[in-house]
Structure 1
Amino acid sequence: MTAVDADARQWEYTTYAPAGETCPACGVPIKTLESCRRGMLARRDSSPIVAYWHTACAPREAGQ
């Protein structure tokens, strides 16, 4: 395992989104049983929230 593998700022894991989730990158709803990425989405005036991205839409840099 490298330091990058243990970096907690990276994506948590590949998962399935709850019903009704929309990808913040492309604005398209995530289908039921569609593999996606789970991570935190920063908000300007509040604490971060959990968000789900299509695998192809997920930002490449850690912490985004």
Structure 2
Amino acid sequence: MITSTFEKSKEATKRRPTIEYIRSIDKYKNISQEEYEELIDSLEQFAMIILDCYFSMSEEERAKL
């Protein structure tokens, strides 16, 4: 069960917001395509680290969150 949940979570992180959506955020209104790719790559890496940490915890540890 944990494996399938982890796989579903990994797939969810790969649904990228469009550059147009990112540009609708004031902080990123002038973001270039290259900066967008770097931002998304960094966010995906961060999400994978969080997911990996969460799913490597025991069920008891996760229950405490």
Instruction: Give the alignment's TM-score, normalised by structure 1.
Output: 0.29
- The structure carrying a bigger strand percent of its residues is 1
Instruction: Give the alignment's TM-score, normalised by structure 2.
Output: 0.29
- The structure carrying a bigger helix percent of its residues is 2
